[in-house]
Structure 1
């Protein structure tokens, strides 16, 4: 038997009963090593349970494999062959867990640790085959750790709204409960079936839940107002009516385990810090300042205490919020949440006598019907976070793990800060943030959108070519040119030929995508057919044909990859422009060229291309 203390300071007892197995000697040997190892290594409660589960699983498998011979199984004997039995257990172990689970490897490793410890002890014998098996590598798959994904925005909003609604309902319920207790008296002078008197007795410590259960008559003799308190939705009464009633009465005066889930949801959402840290806040760890609140948080893994300050709204606005329209609406202010939490748990903390003075303290009626005021345990079997969500009608996809809410808050900060990880990773290293949060669905989608936007931008820059103007648009009336994107002055200059750059016209050579704004384009006319500022008029068809002949010569001179890299886009756009011209127009343009009246003016560099 091993006694341990969990993270929530609950005393846990783990047992291994050798007499429960046919291989009782093997179970006793492993249990002895387990007890000594726990004491020597100071194992945590979860690890202790893993070792206990491994021993139980192995012994049950040995019983099944060896049958009647199991009674002779021992780590120190060669027969029966325990090494074969352990190997068979390890081979079948993953079948009892979901695919990819890490649990089989943990259990297999636990048994190997215990066997190696026993083999290293000078006075304890371990068979050679068993020792060799324990020292060899385990064949059990290590499994994969699946990172939790964040809640969706809709799920997160639903949880926050529900939490605020629950907090407001709790405050109203406790206020009404203490008001009713103030109207009551001791049940001996009043009535043991009167709600006000029962609340008075509990509030003043004059009676206990156990006493109420003893004195109350059978439920069928209760007055209707008492029966109505615990009646089920279908109209029936619970079988443990007395216990249910005492817990209902306690809940009218002090917060219960279920009530405190709402405050944890709000604090995780407002601060972005781990749920296990915000639920361990103490009275000394909350310091209200004129502009907000300063929290003292404790990082359990690193054993580190750190401080975070949070700003609330101004005092004037806070007064308005508290007294007018926004009192019952969600507010993401840690100071307001902490203040309401302290008000709700004030009486509970006075009765709990917790040395650390933690804020998350609840009232509970245990199985012995004793009223206790103790530290909050969010992992109690019947009141977990999943139970709270179900009770309030909140449905989520995937695991109902509160840690996903923190991831949602972290991702939200990255989005609102424009992708600055340093602002979201304010309580750990940026590398930790990248490994635990950057793989979330939201950030992957946002990253994909950013990449797609960048690709679309550069693709548009690459393929966006000149504007081809028809003969009908080039007239003395520049209305059509203005309708397709030119100003009145630009249209007039285009018609008069003042924007001619050789191969094409240019809307604005001082606003080139290839040169700094305000400077004359440095690549005209070689890149005009790839530029959004270029305008192609019908009169420039001869120049386009000459430029096409020039590119054909470059195409024959350069290797295909080289030509495509340098001239590919210009060549494609140019062929598209020429294809739109009529055969008669091209014939006339060729005639003008053959007559010798038109020449292609290109810079000298255009004639000295070499295949590098």
Structure 2
């Protein structure tokens, strides 16, 4: 445990417990010196329990400090118990048990909505365009600049020249060159200070002049936030911590794009990912490429390196961080350092507050303004695009369980899951509430079944009409349009449930000459109603009874004649032996 922080957490836990013992034991009339791991005068198990409660009250319910300190202390005691047999057994057992209070688990962050994602993307792109335009103006002005000690300090171009030699651009150097009253400064220099829309100066003084001169040449932390936003939206397999720690040595531009070496410190894992560049692929196929391709990951990295190129030239001793920001630091001098994104105005939320939409209104982005929500947003976009199982959506940068606990809870994932469930339920309900019914062919239509217009009205083709007319498709109860297209099986084999399920099949075709068969089946179903429990009868015969009732209603005038035919000819159900056993029991 000490290898990660040099033992700081362990020593802090020991000091915290020792201070509590010195304060708590005298209230019980016990000398704190009697509190020993190998002693039995003080019940340290009880003292540790009271100490954990005190930590809980002191740090609050949402703090993990009580868990971390108690876990460190118990770990040290457990290690001691392995070597010291004189330690009390109760203390030994307590050291092997978990802490009294586990870590605090806050509500997982939800992703940004798709509208918010697009708004952040567009705002970041506009911010980068503004940054590049500002730097272009500054560097164009810089080309005309000379040493202000020779050309004068009242020329903005010369002041920018001094900004490339930061030691020449400090308040102490500038103070003798200008009057104390800012309003008396030369107009070109005064125009460099930030102003309100009506021209009123918002900030005055040399510190702001130095900062504004730096902004004309170098990107600040606030400027780099836009690149951070777009890269997070474009790299679904990169965490904010990994992106923040990128250095120039971690990037390698190839013919196919850019290869990035990513280090996930919490997982102790290093991996390399290749982000393809569609612009280069298109250029390889055509002589002239008409698209910009600048908002891809390789394009963003190239633009980021371009805007920070002068920063690396002027500050060669700065560490080669990808997010290298130049700010006026505490000594009043421009310095280049890794963008921390920690100050309130430079955090992700502060950046959002400064952005405007196309109508000039502040962006409406749901809180909290956490950069980690961007990573979840990219995961959700990937899930929507790919679909599939959780293992497909988890990707290669974490396990399925991590995805389930930290990403699958999001609003979009719940909506997609709900839509899938609704579609499945609708399909089932449609099949239950709108069952297929046979097609009833009247006696007149049966005589002209092979006529094209009549067959088309019944949904039949010429071959089916001919086969039906000759009795080739008689299934025992009714006819069938296509026995090889049964809705009760997925393969292309002949239907295996005919004639028992014919009355519930979309392929069934009923001729009026088959009405006596259907009446016999209806009589048998009514006979079974008296022999079966109502719920059982409804499950076996309810839907078929309803389908038969609809057929008899359509041809009510033919039913009496069919009844007489059954009585005169002594008809009975003509079914295969296997189906008869089903009907007769």
TM-score bucket (shorter structure)? 0.7 to 0.9
Deviation at 1:250, TM superposition (A): 0.4
1:197 aligns with 2:158: yes
User: Is 1:442 matched up with 2:412?
Assistant: yes
Give yes or no for the alignment of 1:465 onto 2:436: yes
Corresponding residue for residue 210 of structure 2: 246
Which residue of 1 is the match for residue 268 of structure 2?
303
Q: Show CA shifts across 1:344-392 (max 9, x none).
A: 2122234444676222111011233121111121223320011112212
Q: For residues 110 and 495 of structure 1, do their structure 2 counterparts lie closer, same or farther at Cα, with a shift above 3 Å needed? A: same
Please point out which of 105, 110, 113 is paired with 2:69. Answer: 110
Match for residue 17 of structure 1?
none
How far residue 529 of structure 1 moved from its aligned partner, in angstroms, is 2.0
Closer, same or farther: CA 44–417 of 1 in aligned 2, 3 Å? farther
Q: Which runs of 5+ in 1 are unaligned?
A: 1-37, 64-68, 122-130
Deviations 1:553-598 (A, max 9, x none): 44444556655554454344344544x4465544443333333364
Matched residues in 2 for 1:585 and 1:416: separation?
Answer: 58
**1:593 maps to which of 566, 573, 579:** 566
**1:412 is matched with which residue: 363, 367, 381?**
381
2:109 & 2:280 partners in 1: Cα distance? 39
Counterpart among 321, 332, 346 of residue 369 in structure 1: 332
Asked whether the 8 Å contact 1:465–1:530 carries over to 2, the reply is: yes
User: Counterpart of 1:390?
Assistant: 353
1:558/1:611 contact within 8 Å kept: no
Paired residue for 2:109, among 148, 151, 160?
A: 148
Structure 2 residue corresponding to 1:608, chosen from 578, 581, 584: 581
Q: Distance in 2 between matches of 1:75 and 1:241?
A: 61
1:362–1:376 CA contact under 8 A, matched in 2 = yes
* Partner SS, residue 486 of structure 2: coil
Cα 1:119–1:141 shift into 2, 3 Å: closer
Per-residue Cα deviation, 1:187-240 (whole angstroms, up to 9, x for no partner): 333443432221111124462233465344322223444444401346543355
Match of 1:188 in 2: 149
CA separation of 1:42 and 1:289: change in aligned 2, threshold 3 A = closer
Alignment partner, residue 502 of structure 2: 528
Instruction: Say yes or no: does 1:166 pair with 2:100.
Output: no
Q: Secondary structure at the match of 2:248?
A: coil
Cα pair distance change 1:91/1:516, threshold 3 Å: closer
CA distance in 1, matches of 2:536, 2:107: 47
1:27-82 deviation per Cα after TM superposition (whole angstroms, max 9, x unaligned): xxxxxxxxxxx9x675499x979x79x97xx99xxx9xxxxx9xxx999999xx99
Number of corresponding residues? 549
CA positional deviation for 1:524: 1.2
Deviation at 1:439, TM superposition (A): 2.5
- With over 3 angstroms needed to count, the CA separation of the structure-2 counterparts of 1:302 and 1:286, relative to structure 1, is same
**Alpha-carbon distance in 2 for matches of 1:230, 1:535:** 85
Distance (whole Å) between structure 1 residues aligned to residue 239 and residue 68 of structure 2:
30
Residue 430 of structure 1 deviates from its aligned partner by 3.4
C-alpha change, 1:324 and 1:514, in structure 2 (3 Å) is: closer
Q: How has the CA–CA distance of structure 1 residues 423 and 515 changed in structure 2, closer, same or farther, with 3 Å as cutoff?
A: closer
Query: What is the Cα deviation at residue 334 of structure 1?
Result: 2.1
Change (3 A) 1:83 1:518: closer
Aligned counterparts of 2:386 and 2:438: Cα–Cα separation in 1: 39
What is the alpha-carbon distance in structure 1 between the residues aligned to residue 515 and residue 101 of structure 2? 75
Cα distance in 2 between the residues matched to 1:108 and 1:514: 60
Sort the Cα spacing of 1:466 and 1:119 in 2 relative to 1 into closer, same or farther, 3 A. Answer: closer
Cα distance change on mapping 1:246 and 1:339 into 2, 3 Å = same
Which among 231, 245, 256 is matched to residue 267 of structure 1? 231
Report the CA distance between 1:395 and its aligned residue: 2.9
In structure 1, distance between residues paired with 2:9 and 2:350: 27
Mark the CA change 1:487 to 1:330 in structure 2 (over 3 Å): closer, same or farther: farther
The 8 Å contact of residues 318 and 336 in structure 2, kept in 1 or not, is answered as no
- Give the CA deviation at 1:141: 7.5
Whole-Å separation in 1 of the counterparts to 2:381 and 2:399: 18
Q: What displacement does 1:139 show?
A: 6.5
**Contact persistence 1:469–1:537 (CA under 8 A):** yes
The DSSP-based 3-state class of the residue aligned with 1:545 is: helix
TM-score (norm 1): 0.74
Q: Which residue of 2 aligns with 1:5?
A: none
Q: Which moved more, 1:495-504 or 1:339-348?
A: 495-504
8 Å CA contact 1:508–1:533 kept in 2: the answer is yes
3-state SS, counterpart of residue 331 of structure 2? coil
Structure 1 residues 271 and 91: CA distance shift in structure 2, 3 A: closer
Note closer, same or farther for the CA distance 1:365–1:502 as it changes in structure 2 (3 Å cut). same
> How far off its partner does 1:298 sit?
1.1
Aligned-residue CA RMSD (Å):
4.7
CA contact (8 A) 2:438 2:504 kept: no
